Amino acid sequence: MRKSLSIVCMSLLTVSLMIPIGHAYAGGNPPGNHRQREELRRDQRELQELRQRRNRELREGDRREAREYNEKIRDKQRELYRDRREIYGDNDGWRGRDYGWWRRDRDRDHYYD
């Protein structure tokens, strides 16, 4: 009985210590503040709406309006990219040029140089 009680107590102690460590390791707080993240989500919704309007104009056959929406889409994408860099740091969440299976062995294999 004593051994089983000590095992239960030790496991409870271990769990009570591991949960806060796990939360700290997982990075509970995302970067940026709530207002910045909400603004980023709102900009992403606006970008999606612009794309839908452009597609609707293309279906209707008005290419001049679609070109204007393309310019607005490019501006919104640049704004989103700047906001992401501001919140998450340089290139976080974006794949760089050196990402992919063709670049994986670059350090070992100098064939690409």
pLDDT digits (tens, 9 = 90+) for 9-66: 788 778 777 776 665 565 556 677 888 889 999 999 999 999 999 999 999 998 999 9
Q: Quick one: CA dihedral 105, 111, 112, 113, positive or negative?
A: positive
pLDDT of residue 103: 55
CA 60 to CA 54: how far, in whole Å?
Answer: 10
pLDDT of residue 96: 55
Given a cut of 60, whether residue 109 has pLDDT beyond it is no
Return contacts of 20-27, CB within 8 angstroms, 24+ apart.
none
